[in-house]
Amino acid sequence: MDTIGLDLHKRESQLCIIGSEGEITEKRIVTTRERFSAVLGGRAPCRILLEASTESEWVARHLESLGHEVIVADPGFAPMYATRSKKVKTDKRDARTLAEACLLGAYRATHRVSVEQRHVRSELLVRDSLVRTRTRYVALIKAAVRREGLRLTSGGAEQTIGKVRAIPLREEVLQEIRPILDLLSPINREIDGADKRLEQLGKADPRVRRLMTAPGVGPVTALAFVAALDDVTRFESAHQVESYLGLVPSEHSSGERQHRGRITKRGNARVRWLLVEAGWRILRSRSSECAPLRAWAMQIAARRGKRIAVVALARRLSGILYAMWRDGNEYELKNNNSREIRAA
């Protein structure tokens, strides 16, 4: 079986083909389905290694439809590039390095997300972009109001237009911020539509409904958690999930010197942010269902401060959600007013 290293790029990609007898063929082709079919469609089944990237999933699926074995590798795995010179970097050298790594098995395959969860991730990404855009617009409006010695009343971002109308702003200031105010209404409608679509996706997924029984976890957080992990069986423990989401402390230790720093912030930034927000909700809540987790976090806050306590709470919450999903359990209230994970 031939071995192929594919250095994938947006417009053109580099191929390095190592034959069964060791002969090497190098080609540069346009990154399109038609060119991949023309170059690799008539070949006997090959083993192809490419890096994980924006284009890697559709390319991998197309090459698999042509009968090839495709491996999508982690680009952060250093041993995969052990044979590449650090002084000279070209697409040809990268493709040959990938082909040699495939031949030697010096790679770490990444998890390829299912079609359903790719759709959920896209929906979450669109909603996240809309919310961030609205946040920037609201911040500009608040700054304009504060320059006039006024303040907007408290309330959600979706109420900004009504709050602006309720204060005596000069006409010149209203004219300045009118373009932004005009954009807020359609953005609010699109965010509402995105929330409704995500709510429907959550109702259709029993895993999401189960995770929503945990305190501080709504449909967006539960959906994002499921979409990030995709397959819970690929994690052996809650600590692996916490590390995967970048919620564990970084460490730089050598010999007798040990130093732990801030969290690594690796993995899915959106899920990490949502879990931290869930931690803040739990810490500020006065409901009985949040009491045990809040009490645990407040003990940390007394020693290290609330920010560190909330991050610790997000880390613990990620482990709880993992256990609930793994065991098929819900988060239920016991008679002694403490919370625990029990069988549904």
CATH number of domain containing 63: 3.30.420.140
Please give the mean pLDDT across all residues of the chain: 91
Q: Using the 3D structure, point to which of 78, 104, 130 is the last residue of a domain.
A: 104
Same domain, 187 and 286: no
Q: What is the pLDDT of residue 251?
A: 81
Number of domains, the chain: 3
Sign of the dihedral through C-alpha 83, 85, 86, 88? negative
Same domain, 216 and 298: yes
Same domain, 212 and 194: no
**Residue 62 belongs to some domain of the structure:** yes
Q: What is the pLDDT of residue 333?
A: 62
Q: What is the pLDDT of residue 40?
A: 95
| CA within 13 Å, CB half, 8 | 22
Q: Using the 3D structure, point to which of 204, 223, 248 is the last residue of a domain.
A: 204
Q: What is the pLDDT of residue 76?
A: 86
Helix (H) or strand (E) holding 332: strand 329-333
Of 230, 214, 199, 205, nearest to 330 by C-alpha is 214
Q: What is the pLDDT of residue 252?
A: 81
Same domain, 225 and 182: no
Q: Using the 3D structure, point to which of 104, 126, 144 is the last residue of a domain.
A: 104
Same domain, 309 and 328: yes
**Residue 110 belongs to some domain of the structure:** no
* Residue 41 lies in domain: 3-104
Predicted model pTM: 0.84
Q: What is the pLDDT of residue 106?
A: 93
Same domain, 197 and 260: no
Q: What is the pLDDT of residue 85?
A: 73
- pLDDT tens-digit readout, 308-339: 999 999 999 999 999 999 999 998 765 444 44
What's the average pLDDT block by block, 10 residues per block, for the chain (344 residues)? Answer: 94 94 94 96 94 95 96 90 79 94 93 93 95 96 95 91 93 95 96 95 95 94 96 95 93 79 89 95 91 94 94 96 94 55 39
SS3 content of the chain, % helix, strand, coil (to 5): 55, 15, 30
Same domain, 98 and 17: yes
Same domain, 252 and 337: yes
Same domain, 84 and 128: no
